[in-house]
Copies of this chain bind each other. A is one copy, B any other.
Amino acid sequence: MNGLPCRAGVEVLCIGTELLLGNIVNGNARWLAEELAALGVMHHRQEVVGDNRERLIEAVRQAAGRCRVLLTTGGLGPTPDDLTTEAIAAAFGAELEEREEIWAAIQARLQARGRPVAASNRKQALLPRGAEVLPNPVGTAPGMIWTPLPGFTVLTFPGVPRELRAMWQATAVPWLRRAGLASGVFASRMLRFWGVPESDLAEQVRDLLDLENPTVAPYAGEGEVKLRITARAADAPAAETLLAPVEAELRRRTGALCYGVDGDSLASVVLEALRRRGETLAVAESCTGGRLGAALAAVPGASEVFLGGVIAYANAVKQGLLGVPHDLLACHGAVSDPVAEAMAGGVRRVTGADWGVAVTGIAGPGGGSDAKPVGLVHIAVAGPDGCRSAPVHFGSGRERSWIQLLSVGESLNRLRLRLNNGGV
């Protein structure tokens, strides 16, 4: 077709009427695209079709004429609008057959959760003759790996991101490597930054963004910024040899702005630093309402360091459980440095933790004033060496959940910087 190489690279086909209605953003397509790029797999096209048998068949047949591997997401559930497997089978005139081992696994999984086995679940055990099972370690529906035509393979995944990701890592990535699509080895490292805008960071490292191997690319994350270094080489040690000096140079230039790498989070980095010091942490949260604690508790093994704390949303709770003096609240208001300091010191005292972090602010949309606008947050860190507090303003135009997210990140980052400096 127009000089295009026949059956080259990978295409992504996302299936679901909810995508065509605009109900949800196509996060799976973005995630798969990023993964394919990191693996160095050629990826030329993405498509979205609804839960419609004829259009699905048409899209699959067309893709089969163009690409080497088609990845589909969605439509593997038990309901009548889940049509992916049967449409793919029909596109190549194949029969569906029930796989006993899948059906047994579905029944076992549902029973283990105390859920009834519905007749509709049985359809999830059907695969085209000759297809391999693509196991789903975290959900009911498996996918498949099927080569209906020489040189064309389709891999199917559920639309649930958690299941897609688990299946991708466990089975699809090794398969792509074995199939020679991820040729050579790509090694990549994601450096993570807090407290610097993407454009500023890019400016600091501009010359490195033009490198060809390894490449350096900036990504904006949720309140954070990331730099991905990707090296391509014949084997892993060679890729690592390419990566290391670029990582070192990036770290040298960015200093304490870089808080971690790859799977690190601000919470995991702070917990690890405290664990090494043999110290403990408690939180006192007003405007974040528990989100700071939740970020810490999301890290496996947090209990070694994180004791808990107080969600002091109402002023009466600030007084009653944290011992914030009434006069302080009356004089400075709940959103102030003195109250943040009293909260951080209070939670340290009542829990016996070595460190206390407190957040009090105005997350909006209501509650702002000229003096204390929406987006103003006071954060205090109390430790063995004393307590310090300072305000931060995230901007009145931001929405509530974004202000809460930034408050959590900023709190953890302040504690991180304090610990970096020997806790002083």
Chain A stretch 399-416: residues in CB contact (< 8 A) with chain B:
399-402, 404
Are A289 and B300 in contact, CB atoms less than 8 angstroms apart?
Answer: no
Copies assembled: 2
A 296-314 contacts with B by CB, 8 A = 296-298, 300-303, 306-314
Q: For window 103-148 of chain A, which residues contact chain B by CB distance below 8 Å?
A: 110, 112-116, 118-121, 137-138
A198 near B78: Cβ-Cβ < 8 Å:
yes
Q: Report which of B31, B307, B404 forms a contact with A316, defined as CB distance below 8 A.
A: B307
Most B-side CB within 10 Å, residue of A209, A230, A309? A309
Which residues of A does B touch, CB under 8 Å?
1-4, 17-27, 29-37, 43-52, 54-55, 57-59, 62, 77-81, 110, 112-116, 118-121, 137-138, 160, 162, 188, 190, 197-200, 202-203, 206, 209-210, 217-220, 228, 230, 282-283, 285-298, 300-303, 306-314, 316-317, 320-321, 350-352, 363-367, 393-395, 397-402, 404
Q: Decide if B3 touches A29 in the complex (CB within 8 Å).
A: no
Is there an interface contact between B313 and A310, defined as CB atoms closer than 8 Å?
Answer: no
User: Can you report 26 A-B residue pairs in the complex whose CB atoms are below 8 A from each other?
Assistant: A4-B55, A19-B33, A22-B35, A22-B37, A25-B25, A25-B30, A45-B55, A77-B220, A113-B394, A118-B199, A118-B202, A162-B402, A289-B293, A290-B293, A290-B309, A291-B297, A297-B313, A303-B313, A306-B313, A306-B314, A307-B316, A308-B313, A308-B314, A310-B321, A317-B351, A320-B350
Are B18 and A22 closer than 8 Å at their CB atoms? no
A203-B120, A395-B113 as given contacts; A29 in contact with B31, CB under 8 Å: no
Most B CB within 10 A of own CB, among A48, A110, A295: A48
The answer on a CB contact under 8 Å between B26 and A29 is yes
Assess the B30–A22 pair: CB atoms within 8 A. yes
Are A401 and B290 in contact, CB atoms less than 8 angstroms apart?
A: no
Query: In the complex the two chains form, is A22's CB within 8 Å of B34's CB?
Result: yes
Contact of A285 with B293 at beta-carbon distance under 8 Å, contacts A313-B307, A321-B310 already known? yes
Q: Are A230 and B21 in contact (CB under 8 A)?
A: yes
Residues of B within 8 A of A309 (CB): 290, 310-311, 317
Distance from A282 Cβ to chain B, minimum over Cβ atoms (Å): 8
Tell me which of B26, B37, B80, B114 contacts A393 (CB under 8 A): B114
Q: A45–B49 contact, CB under 8 A?
A: yes
Which of B32, B301, B307 is A22 in contact with, Cβ under 8 Å?
B32
CA distance A23 to B43 in the complex (A): 13
| Prevailing SS type, chain A contact patch | mixed
Query: Does B351 contact A298, Cβ atoms closer than 8 Å?
Result: no
Cα-based distance from A22 to B35 in the complex (angstroms): 8
The answer to whether A62 and B62 have CB atoms under 8 Å apart is yes
Q: How many angstroms between the C-alpha atoms of A26 and B14 in the bound complex?
A: 13
Other-chain contact of A160, B48, B52, B220 (Cβ < 8 Å): B220
Q: Which residues of B contact A44 (CB under 8 A)?
A: 20, 49-50, 52, 55
Q: A308-B313, A397-B138 are in contact. Are A217 and B17 (CB under 8 A)?
A: yes
| Contact A2 to B62, CB < 8 A, known contacts A46-B20, A48-B46, A290-B292 | no
**Min CB–CB distance A25 → chain B (angstroms):** 4
A46 / chain B contacts, CB cutoff of 8 Å: 19-20, 47-48
Q: Are A294 and B290 in contact (CB under 8 A)?
A: yes
Please, how many angstroms separate the alpha-carbon atoms of A313 and B366 in the complex?
31
Q: Contact: B50 with A47, CB < 8 Å?
A: no
CB atoms of A209 and B81 under 8 A apart: yes
A29 & B48 in contact (Cβ 8 Å cutoff): yes
Contact B18 A219 (CB under 8 A): yes
* Neighbouring B residues of A291 by C-beta, 8 Å: 290-291, 293-294, 297
A23 touches B290 (CB 8 A): no
A199 to B44 alpha-carbon distance, docked (Å):
35
Chain B residues, CB < 8 A from A317: 282, 307-309, 351
